[in-house]
Amino acid sequence: MQNRRKFLKYGALIASASIAHPLASFSIPPNPIQQDKLVPRALKKGDKVVIISPAGAVYDNTKIKEFKNTLVNLGFVVILGKSVSEIYGYLAGTDEERAADINEAFADKSIKGIFCTRGGWGCARILDLLDYKSIAENPKFIMGFSDITSLLICIQTKVNLITFHGPVGLSSWDPFSVSCFNNSTMSGYKNIFPCRREDNVLALSPGIAQGELIGGNLSVFVSLIGTNYLPDFDRKILFLEELNEEPYKIDRMLMQIKQSGIFDKLAGLVFGVFSNCETENISQSFPLLEVIKHHVLPLNIPVIFNAPFGHTTKKWTIPIGALAEINADNLSLELLEPSVLV
């Protein structure tokens, strides 16, 4: 299969960077096991792409038209999935209808990319209705975030296809986000995702490590724990973001990750934007950052906090399944392999 890539073993330790920090810098090698992964073809102008609604309903059809125009302005030929504007309670059509849109999009060889209108809730309901054999035979670009997390992680786990955590139709497509999208999905470069300290991005724990990227929305991620839709987390770099959850709820979800044993396997952690996740009554709570430190500081792995992804205006487009290097010393995340085939 032309889109199948074999990545060779990585062996030697990566030398730790020297920094002025009270903790020693350290480095973790990537998973040395040879892997055979599916890499989608790079998108290009003129490609036919489809918009689907695999989760929550879109109650204002003008939003769908605006999203279609955004993608047209990026140079794509855009079609709409059959259930994209359906309303079935809080869902965009029945489970069978939404799953059919995904299966048809992957099976249609003329379609080169799959975009989602929004998150909300609903992707987990259709995971057992997807045709993973067809997806593996027709690997292609698919992107979203928030509730789309479960869809992206599941597809990456089941068929080893790189998927993309990035903007949806109801989120912003500002110049920063568009630039990151283009770099990740159209250029084929080994991208560097820089952070700036002036943007309040912090290194919570120093060091450099390599591993495959996995993650998305925190609450959706923890809902998959205990299912067969999560991969082995050995030497993975986990990235997480959240919206509208108070610190005690973040604490509870991070504790679930800890007690599941996932934290003990990781090479690194990247926290994105946790929008509206501080409590109003700080006298009766820990600050969010302190809660996160409770869980991550004992891990002795590199940790970055407040990177630009999640429910925020400026968003990275992050390839789930791609090998990357986290460098908490200079606040960067760098791909070690292209996330698309040019």
Q: What are the pLDDT digits (tens) for 69-123?
A: 999 999 999 999 998 999 999 999 999 999 999 999 999 999 999 999 999 999 9
**Start-end of CATH 3.50.30.60 domains in the chain:** 188-335
Which of 241, 242, 245, 325 is catalytic? The answer is 241
Q: What is the DSSP letter of 199?
A: G
Catalytic: 146?
A: yes
Residue of 136, 135, 151 lying closest to 52 (CA atoms): 151
Asked if residue 234 has pLDDT above 80, the reply is yes
Arithmetic mean of pLDDT, 330-339 = 92
Q: How many CB atoms lie within 10 A of CB 255?
A: 15
Residue 241 a catalytic site member: yes
Tell me if residue 339 is catalytic. Answer: no
- Longest CA pairwise span in the chain (Å): 59
Fold annotation for 188-335: Glucose Oxidase; domain 1 (3.50.30)
Where does the chain hold its CATH 3.40.50.10740 domain(s)?
Answer: 48-185
Candidate list 85, 245, 311, 325, residue with the active-site label? 311
Judged against a pLDDT cut of 70, whether residue 28 lies above it is answered with no
25, 53, 85, 146: which one is catalytic? 146
Q: Which residue has the tokens 């809730």?
A: 121
CATH number of 48-185: 3.40.50.10740
Contact 270, 211 (CB under 8 A): no
